[in-house]
Structure 1
């Protein structure tokens, strides 16, 4: 069997571009950037996150509203298993997510771990999600315990364009 360098490069480029799509998705959620969040989906995409299912536009509006109503979140990508077949691909993406809520006035951390079961398509050279179902493997809610951060005045992340990664306000 001969090695097909061109096919290998196409496969690697697809994996790179799908990973970039996944990163846009996560960053768009955490920084409350609906345009970036939406850029992870093709126009006809369908999403089922358990709390809602529907179009990409409906999902992004739902997720941005839910996440915008809480104090903060961080979504982390774990292992990613992809199968690429030409201009189509499927994948299983592990994730871990932290959400800062207030339950009865008490700062609470909701930790969720699960997987995204995805279908992707490359259209016009652009890899994006066309189908996504979120599966939750476990979740835990616990009172917040981050006084260390406040006591030591550590730089904190921000949202809606105020994060250092977006402002890059370096000290003079």
Structure 2
């Protein structure tokens, strides 16, 4: 393989891993076992410091998730990826928001950290074979916003604006023939 072909292969491999990371964050936020399974090899392991084990242990922890954690959002930052044949290591910055039922009302929290992922390519597909989560900070943001009042003093004009707190409009937004001018 010449230098240009090698560079293109590496570019495509890195993009496949970034897509895997984004799909996983989307799956975790929706507690979708179907999406999450497309990101991990069945024999994968994880260690989040507060919980560790094999992939099935991870999946049972995330889906359906604890009732106390009502809503999450994972925002991914830059990924530093080092390739080595069919293996790769990636460090990806993450901010994760959580709305937590504390028994006396909902609280909003944010965790900042980094995923240390070992990826493995099997055939043409890259998936996670091992993940460690490093924590850089945790911040309690206080009492959760009351979505029935809108935001910043402005009421919502429709029920879908508060995101997953009232269902997930993005799921229906992607359905239909939107590329042909249809609406969800």
Unpaired segments ≥5 residues, structure 1 = none
1:74 aligns with 2:79: no
Residues 148, 158 of structure 1: CA spacing in aligned structure 2 closer, same or farther, 3 A cutoff? closer
Equivalent position of 1:158 in the other structure: 164
1:110-161 Cα offsets, whole Å, 9 max, x none, are: 11000111110110110000110011111012323534773322602228xx
Native 8 Å contact 1:67 1:73 kept in 2:
no
> Deviations along 1:42-62, whole A, 9 cap, x unmatched?
111111112211111210111
- Counterpart secondary structure, 1:100: strand
| 1:10-159 equivalences in 2 (<5 Å) | 10-66=9-65, 69-147=68-146, 150-151=149-150, 152-153=155-156, 155-158=161-164
Q: CA RMSD in A?
A: 2.2
> TM-score with structure 1 length normalisation?
0.88
- Where relative contact order (Cα < 8 A, 6+ residues apart) is larger, the structure is 1
Structure 2 length-normalised TM: 0.82
Query: Is 1:167 aligned with 2:172?
Result: yes
CA distance in 2, matches of 1:88, 1:166: 33
Q: How many residues align?
A: 168
Cα deviation, residue 69, structure 1: 4.1
- Structure 2: which 5+ runs fail to align? 176-181
SS in 2 for 1:139: strand
